[in-house]
Chain A
Amino acid sequence: MKIGIPKGLLYYKYHPFFMTFFTELGAETIVSEDTNKSILDLGVKHCVDEACMPVKVFHGHVASLRDKCDAILIPRIMQIRKREYICPKFCGLPEMVVYNIPDLPAVISEPIYATDDKRLYEWAKEAGRLVTRDRNTIRRAFEKAVSVQNEYDIGINTLSYEMKVALAGHPYNIYDSYSNMNIVRKLNALGIGIITEEFVDEEEVDSEVGKLFKRPFWTFARNTYGFLATAYEKKLCDGVIYISSFACGIDSVLIELVKERIGDFPFMVLKIDEHTGEAGVNTRIEAFVDMLERRKTYEDNVPSYGQCVPCSQGSF
C-alpha cells in the first residue's frame, strides 16, 4: 500500500508524525515534491478562486500525487489545543479537495483532534485501518510517531548576525521557501538573522494572550500574537516581518491586534499570493532592512523636520 503525503499546509510542522506512523504500519509513503511552479499551477487550476494561496498549493500537491499512490492523506486538523481552532478551511479541507480534483484515489480524511494523545489515537485507529487490521501494530506505530514528533524541533533562531528580525506568520508560509520566495536566505544574505515563534516560552505566550479582552480562538493567532508581543517586550529582535497570505481571514484580525500591541516598533507585512512578483518582494525587504540599519546607527528618533513620525502613521 502506497500512501501519498502532500507537502503542504501543516506538513512542515507535523510530517515526522505522519511519516513515522505510516512507515511503522508497514505502508510505503510517498511525499510530493517541494512546491514549484507546476504544483502551484495545478493548485490554481483545481482550487476554488477565493481560497488563499497555501490552500491552492495544497491542492496542487494532492493533484500531483493522484496517479502515484493508493491513498492520499488529507489531514482534517480540527483542533491542536483545547477550545481553539485552526481555520475553517482546515476543517473543510478534504471536502474542498475531493469535490474539486477529479479521479482521486482513496482519501484519509478522518478529523484530527490533537488536544491529547487519547483523542489523537481515535484518528490513528481510523486511519490505520486502511493499512492493517492489527490493533497492536497501530498502537505501536502511533506511540512511536508521537515520540518522534515530540522530539522534532522546527524553528529558526540564527545567532551569528548582529541584527535580527522576528519572522512571523503561519508555519506553511514561513517554511515553504517557494511560497515565500526564500525569504530566510534573502534576509541572511542582507546580514539579518531570524527568530521564529518556536523560541518563545509557552508561559510568556500565555501571559501576553491573557491580557487581551477576548481569548483568541485560533491557535495560529495565539502563537503569533504571544510570540510577537514577547519578542517586542524582551527585545528579542529589531523588527518584525509578517508573511501573510492574501485574503487570510485570521491574519486580517491578527495583524491589527499585533499592531495595537507593538505600536511604533518596525513591522512589515509581506502579502503573498500566486501573483506575487519576486522583484517587488526584494525591494520591500531591502528597504525594510535599510530602515532597520539606519535606526540602529543614526537613530535619534527625531526626523529632520523635528517631529517624531511613528510608523503607524505610514511614514515607512
Chain B
Amino acid sequence: MKITFPHMGNVYLAVKALFDGLGIEYVIPPKNSKKTLEIGSLHSPEEICLPYKIMIGNYVQAAEMGADTVLLTGSCGPCRFGEYCEMQMNLLNKLGHDFKFIVIDAPGDIGVSELFNRIAEISTKSRMSKHKKLQCVKYALDVINLTDKLDAKAHWLAGYERKREECKKLLHASKRDAARCSNPKEMIKLLKDYEKKFDNVELDLDKDPVKIAIIGEIYTVIEPFSNLYIEDKLMSYGVSTRRELTPSWWVKNMVMSPTRLNSLDLKRHSKEYLRLEIGGHARECIGEAVMAYEDGLDGAIQIFPMGCMPEIVSKAILPRISKDKNFPIMTLVVDEMTGEAGYVTRIEAFLDLLERRKEHVLSGS
C-alpha cells in the first residue's frame, strides 16, 4: 500500500513527518503546477469548484509515481467538499486508476467504530507500538503548528524587513529543507532553528507598512498555487499579511467543535452580521473581516473559488461591513481560467488605494 493525499499548503510536510515516523510507504504528489491543474480540469466536471480539479490532478500525478491509496478528510456540512470522496472515486475509476479511498469522516455521521476501522486501515500497516504511533501523531501536529507559525511570522514581518524579500527567501528555504528531512524529529528541530532565524531578521520598526488580512475559502487561502501565490506577491511588495485560517487552526477547530468552544473570537466577531453557521467557512470569513478592522489592519482580501456556495453569502455581506466600518475589502474569485496579469493589476490597485488612504487623512470620509 502506497498512500497519497491531496496537497493543501504545508500539510504535506506534516503528513510526511507522520508517515516517516510510522514507517508507512507514501507518495507526495508533485507540487501543484499548471500541469496538475490541466490534468484536473481535463477530467473533472465543468462546474465543480477549483479545489476538486487540483486534487484530481494530484491523484493522477501521484498514480504515475505508484500510489494506490488516497487519504482524504470528509465533511457533512452543506458545502460541496463532503461529496468529493464519492465523485472522485467514480472519476478515478473511470480513468482506470484503481485507487482505494480512505475517507476520514466525522464520527457523527459514519459512527465511531467505522471511523476507527478506517484509521486502522492505515495504522495497522505500521509495526510500532501504540504509544509510538501516538507519538508520531504528536510529531505531525508539531510540524503543522510550526510551519503555520513560520508562515505567519514571515507574512507579518515582510512589511518591516530592512532587506527586501529576506523573509520570503527564509520561508522558502525552510520548506525546501524540511521536505528533505527523513525523520520527524529532525524536521521539528530544523523548523525550530528556522523559527529562531526569523528572530534575527533585521527589522525597521518605524515602518508603517500596509497590513492586509487574507480571508475567504479555506482551501484557496491555504494552497498558494490556487490563489496564484498571493502571499508571496504581497511579501515581495513589502506588505504585512495575516491569515486566521490555517491547517493548524482547522485541526484545533475540529477537535474543539463538539464542545462548541471552537474559535470563540471568530464567532463573537461575526455575530453582528451573520449569527448562524451556514456551512463552509462563511461565518469565519465574516468574523475575520470584522476582527481585521478592529485590530487596525488597513484592508482585507477575500479569495474563493468560482461558485463556492458559502463564500457567495459572505461576499454579499462584506460590502455592508466595508461601508459600516469604512474598511476596504476586495474580493478575488479564482478558477482555472484566472489570468495572472489581471489578477496582479487588481491587487496592485487595491494596495495603491490602501497606501493613499494611509497618507491622506481626509481619505474615505
Interface residues of A (CB under 8 A from B): 47-48, 50-51, 76, 78, 83, 85-89, 91-92, 95-96, 99-100, 111, 212-218, 247-253, 255-257, 260
Q: How many A-B residue pairs have CB under 8 A?
A: 121
- Report how far A105 CA is from B320 CA in the complex, Å: 18
Cβ of B49 within 8 Å of any chain A Cβ, yes or no, is yes
Query: Besides A214-B103, A249-B307, A249-B308, 11 other CB < 8 A contacts?
Result: A83-B109, A86-B78, A91-B78, A92-B282, A92-B313, A92-B317, A214-B105, A217-B83, A218-B78, A253-B48, A260-B90
Cβ of B279 within 8 Å of any chain A Cβ, yes or no, is yes
Determine whether the beta carbon of B276 is less than 8 Å from that of A111. Answer: yes
Partner of A51, one of B49, B306, B312: B312
- Report how far A231 CA is from B18 CA in the complex, Å: 47
Determine whether the beta carbon of A96 is less than 8 Å from that of B78. Answer: no
Determine whether the beta carbon of B49 is less than 8 Å from that of A249. Answer: yes
B68-102 interface (Cβ within 8 A of A): 74, 76-80, 82-83, 85-87, 89-91
Determine whether the beta carbon of B45 is less than 8 Å from that of A249. Answer: no
Number of B interface residues at 8 Å Cβ cutoff, please give it.
Answer: 44
Determine whether the beta carbon of A251 is less than 8 Å from that of B47. Answer: yes
CB<8 Å pairs between A and B, sample of 14:
A51-B312, A88-B278, A88-B309, A91-B276, A92-B282, A92-B317, A95-B316, A96-B316, A96-B317, A99-B317, A99-B320, A250-B309, A252-B47, A257-B87
Kindly provide the distance from the CB of B102 to the nearest chain A CB, expressed in whole angstroms: 12
Q: Decide: A217 near B76, CB < 8 A? Known: A249-B49, A253-B87.
A: yes
Q: Decide: A212 near B78, CB < 8 A? Known: A87-B309, A249-B307.
A: no
Determine whether the beta carbon of A88 is less than 8 Å from that of B317. Answer: no
Determine whether the beta carbon of B45 is less than 8 Å from that of A85. Answer: no
Cβ of B274 within 8 Å of any chain A Cβ, yes or no, is yes
Residues of B near A248 (CB, < 8 A) are: 47
**Which of B78, B82, B109, B316: most chain A CB closer than 10 A?**
B316
Determine whether the beta carbon of A216 is less than 8 Å from that of B313. Answer: no
- Report how far A251 CA is from B45 CA in the complex, Å: 11
Q: Decide: A214 near B320, CB < 8 A? Known: A91-B279, A95-B274.
A: no
Kindly provide the distance from the CB of B112 to the nearest chain A CB, expressed in whole angstroms: 16
- Report how far A251 CA is from B280 CA in the complex, Å: 17
- Report how far A100 CA is from B315 CA in the complex, Å: 11
Kindly provide the distance from the CB of A122 to the nearest chain B CB, expressed in whole angstroms: 14
Determine whether the beta carbon of B316 is less than 8 Å from that of A48. Answer: yes
Kindly provide the distance from the CB of B297 to the nearest chain A CB, expressed in whole angstroms: 21
Cβ of B333 within 8 Å of any chain A Cβ, yes or no, is yes
Determine whether the beta carbon of B82 is less than 8 Å from that of A217. Answer: yes
Residues of B near A249 (CB, < 8 A) are: 49, 79-80, 307-309
Nearest neighbor of A46 in chain B, beta-carbon distance: B316
Residues of A near B314 (CB, < 8 A) are: 92
